[in-house]
Amino acid sequence: MKKILIIDDDRDICNMLAKFLSKHGFDTDIAYNGKTAVKLLKENTVDLVLCDFKLPDATGIEILQKVKIIDSRIQVIIITGYSDVRIAVDAVKKGAVDYVTKPLYPDEILHTIKTVLSMKDKKVSESGTHDQAREFYDTYIEGQSPQSQMVQRHINLIAPTDMSVIIMGDTGTGKEFIAKAIHFRSKRANKPFVAIDCGALIKDLAGSELFGHVKGAYTGAVGDKPGSFELADGGTLFLDEISNLTYENQIKLLRVLQERKIKRVGDIKDIPVDVRLIVASNENLKNSVIRGDFREDIYHRINEFRIDLAPLRERKEDVVQYSKHFLKEANKQLGKQVQEFNPEVLKKFKSYSWPGNLRELRNVIKRAVLLTDGAEIELSCLPEEIKEPANNRSSFLEISFNGVLPSNLKKVSREAEKFAIQEVLKRTNNNKTETAKILGVDRKTLYNKMKIHHISQS
């Protein structure tokens, strides 16, 4: 029986979820705050955490980080309001496996939990069997936009080779799907495809996850364990968010790239490996090199070919095509027979900015299918932020001044500057170098402006 820890300060939500999930064969536990949650996690074996983003004593990100320290194998799903979808996207970047939005629908949560738990072992190591290749092609579609067509040409060009590939793109643009497309079109297609999220690796355990360990290498190492490089031998290793690797593990990675050998933590012997490396990042690795966060020698070794994925908002031609694909997918998953979208729904889809990209589009459609009783998805099934984007984003004045008009033009200028800095910081995931570049100022100026406007520099 799988154990699920529900963390939410709303007791009614906790009790409802616990009762519902228990009926469907899960062992559940409840925590109303972060402190209690951490205590329960240390005392019990937990398979999955369902955590509200806003708790009395912590945020979902803080709980996520503590969960990964306690046991990196625990899957975390974040609960958030739909207006906070950018927060949910950030949580996925930091290691959450998925998110669900309020209002909560038990059937949607149940499906998400079952999907996450069923993929838990597959995610660590997927062998490239014919069945898995077929499963991949059933879920992979080529976009119609010029950007998507260019990506497809690059995939077809690079796949037959053994060259390393860097995939660049925002969170949710489908970087892992592109990596799989390269793998399943390569001569390694019948060998393992192993995907590792470097952003979710705990600093002290990252070496073990990547290179393996031997019994007694550290406290808790009760037996020998192969790392990702060994599991991917003969196939493809996909390192997502590679810039999050620590400097120490970057040095170990460089040795593997140079010598094609790994050494398990605590071992003295080398193990030869034959692995094709595909990496991904949601920020420009060149900037990480300039900042000194990422080794230049590794960058040049892995940058044999680069694929850039445009955000969904920049390829509107793909929205309808992906929407129809996700509709079929949701029907199959939920056992429904919704046939089409109301034209007004597709119109809203085309005009929405999709900050969560394809992942957000898929989630929106899955929820809409769940809510639809007839054969057509209506506007009423969409989140308010998509139905009324003007009300959601309001105007700059409403956002900056909480509906109270400013008394003079100078204040408008100050608040506009503050608002612009905050928005770009959000877009760059608090990357100061990238923010300064976008705003056309140097880092020193940016820090001075942040100090003037009382914007946190952490």
The stretch 141-161 carries a mean pLDDT of: 90
Query: Could you give the percent of the chain with pLDDT greater than 90?
Result: 41
Q: Which of 177-181, 411-415, 445-449 has the highest mean pLDDT?
A: 177-181
d(CA 205, CA 180): 26
pLDDT the model gives residue 101:
84
pLDDT the model gives residue 306:
95
pLDDT the model gives residue 150:
93
- 360 and 322 in contact (C-beta within 8 Å)? no
Residue 375 scores a pLDDT above 50: yes
Q: Residues 304-344: pLDDT tens digits? A: 999 999 999 999 899 999 999 999 989 988 889 999 999 99
Q: How far is CA 56 from CA 31, 63, 111, 328, 378, in A?
A: 11, 12, 28, 40, 37
pLDDT the model gives residue 44:
85
pLDDT the model gives residue 7:
95
Any idea which of 17-31, 179-193, 390-404, 423-437 has the lowest mean pLDDT? 390-404
pTM of the predicted structure, to 2 decimals: 0.63
The pair of three-digit structure tokens given for residue 11, joined into one six-digit string: 């007791």
SS3 of the chain: the string is CCEEEEECCCHHHHHHHHHHHHHCCCEEEEECCHHHHHHHHHHCCCCEEEEECECCCCEHHHHHHHHHHHCCCCEEEEEEEHHHHHHHHHHHHCCCCEEEEECCCHHHHHHHHHHHHHHHHHHHCECCCHHHHHHHHHHCCCCCCHHHHHHHHHHHHHCCCCCCEEEECCCCCCHHHHHHHHHHCCCCCCCCEEEEEHHHCCCCCHHHHHHEECCCCCCCCCCCEECHHHHCCCCEEEEECHHHCCHHHHHHHHHHHHHCEECCECCCCCEECCCEEEEEECCCHHHHHHHCCCCHHHHHHHCCCEEECCCHHHCHHHHHHHHHHHHHHHHHHHCCCCCEECHHHHHHHHHCCCCCHHHHHHHHHHHHHHHCCCCEECHHHCCHHHHCHHHHHCCHHHHHHCCCCCCCHHHHHHHHHHHHHHHHHHHCCCCHHHHHHHHCCCHHHHHHHHHHCCCCCC
pLDDT the model gives residue 126:
43
In the chain the domains, ranked by start, together with CATH numbers, are 3-123 (3.40.50.2300), 125-308 (3.40.50.300), 314-383 (1.10.8.60), 394-452 (1.10.10)
pLDDT the model gives residue 397:
43
Other C-beta atoms closer than 10 Å to the C-beta of 133 total 17
Task: Give residues with Cβ within 8 angstroms of 263, minimum separation 6.
Answer: 211, 269, 270, 271
The angle subtended at Cα 235 by Cα 229 and Cα 240, nearest 5°, is 60
Mean pLDDT of the chain: 84
